Each structure stands twice: as C-alpha cells, then as structure tokens.
Amino acid sequence: RTIGDRIGEAKASGNLGNTLKILGQFDEAVVCCQRHLDISREQGDKVGEARALYNIGNVYHAKGKHLSWSMAQDPGYLPQEVKDTLQKASEYYERNLSLVKELGDRAAQGRAYGNLGNTQYLLGNFSEAIAFHKERLAIAKEFGDKAAERRAYSNLGNAHIFLGRFDISAEYYKKTLQLSRQLKDQAVEAQACYSLGNTCTLLQDYEKAIEYHLRHLVIAQELGDR
C-alpha cells in the first residue's frame, strides 16, 4: 500500500484470506479474498480475478464443511445455513470456471470441476456431482495427474452409492484401489478396500466383502492406525 503496488496488495490480501480460512475465521477470510477480487478487477488482472473467485469458493466450501461436520449430517440432509453457504461456494466456482475457460487454463478448469463436484455432493445433488467429477477425471487423464485421477474415481464411487448404483461404485473403487497401489499410497489403498468391502456387502457378495475388509485391517495394522 505504501508504495502504491495494487497488484501486490491484491496478492497479499488473497494470501491473508487463505490463511484466515485455515484458521477457521471464514467471515474475515471472505473480506480479504473479496479485496483480492476487487483490486484484480480494477487492474484488469484476469488471472488474479480467477484466483480470487476460486479462493472465495474455497472459503465458503470450507465453512460449509465445517458447519455440516459440527452438525454431523449426511450429504443432502442439511440445515438451511449450510445449504446457503455451499450454494455460494458453488456459484464462485462456476464463475471461476467460466473465467479460466476464457483464459484457456485447463489445469485450473480441472480444479474447479473437482470442487464443484465436491460441493454438489455435499448438497446432495449426486447426478450433478457425477457430471462434474467426470469432467475432472478427463482433465486429470489429459495431464497424466494420477493423484487427481485417483480422487476423481473415489468421488465418483461415493456419489454412485447415494444413487443406489452399487455395481458402478464398485468399478470406480476398484480403479481407485489400482491407482493407490500404483502411487504406493497405503492409507488410500486401505480406504479403497474399506469402501469396496462396504459396497460388496451392499451387493450381498459377502465373500469378497470379507476379503476387502481383511486387506483394510492388515494395512491398518501395518500403519499402526488404531
């Protein structure tokens, strides 16, 4: 501010917003991220504007998750305050998405699709969540981003469970499992086995369910995860 560097002030405000978000001070975080947005627009900085929109989406997303955890609700069964907060997150992600499309930034589009999927999932809009996660998956494959691909499969599996499509969920979880082994991420592998165990139980394939739950147990013991 002292040297009149508006872009620098915008970035600093954005960083401050992100830090306040991590501290759980969501309303103050929104004010800082909004300043980042306002200055970016005033300066005609499209990249900064896109980043600010994404950050504000993240603040509302984090606030919505925080509120829903403190009320311990299933996806879709949400108090109005939580719904409104997640709806706001979704709106900011949508605005970010249209801007990064304009800028031709595919990686940023991938992030926006993933977060839109997560937000719609929490809102209980499972079909919309699936559409967004499929877009996320396509971009992850484009970039060869195995970790993002793995997350997309996992999210697709979760959303199909709530639509009662257990067989499709199982296919997605198997892909999650495959990738977690490729990535040598044992905690995620255990998680995938747990999800597959539960899904096989829903499909009444109890032998397979036992197999997956035993694998989950073995990894949990290996990791010393009580």
Structure tokens at 114: 């993933």
| Confidence at residue 2, expressed as pLDDT on a 0 to 100 scale | 95
- Let me know: does 118 contact 62? Beta carbons within 8 Å: no
* d(C-alpha 107, C-alpha 92), whole Å: 17
| Confidence at residue 77, expressed as pLDDT on a 0 to 100 scale | 78
| Confidence at residue 128, expressed as pLDDT on a 0 to 100 scale | 98
* d(C-alpha 68, C-alpha 124), whole Å: 12
Walk me through the domains of the chain, giving residue ranges and CATH numbers.
1-144 (1.25.40.10), 146-225 (1.25.40.10)
Which tens digits make up the pLDDT trace of 158-200? 999 999 999 999 999 999 999 999 999 999 999 999 999 999 9
Q: Which long-range contacts (CB under 8 A, 24 or more apart) does 175-182 make?
A: 176/150, 179/146, 179/149, 179/150, 179/153, 180/150, 182/146
| Confidence at residue 70, expressed as pLDDT on a 0 to 100 scale | 78
- Report residues of the chain scoring pLDDT below 50: none
- Let me know: does 41 contact 49? Beta carbons within 8 Å: yes
| Confidence at residue 72, expressed as pLDDT on a 0 to 100 scale | 66
DSSP structural state of residue 82:
H
| Confidence at residue 134, expressed as pLDDT on a 0 to 100 scale | 98
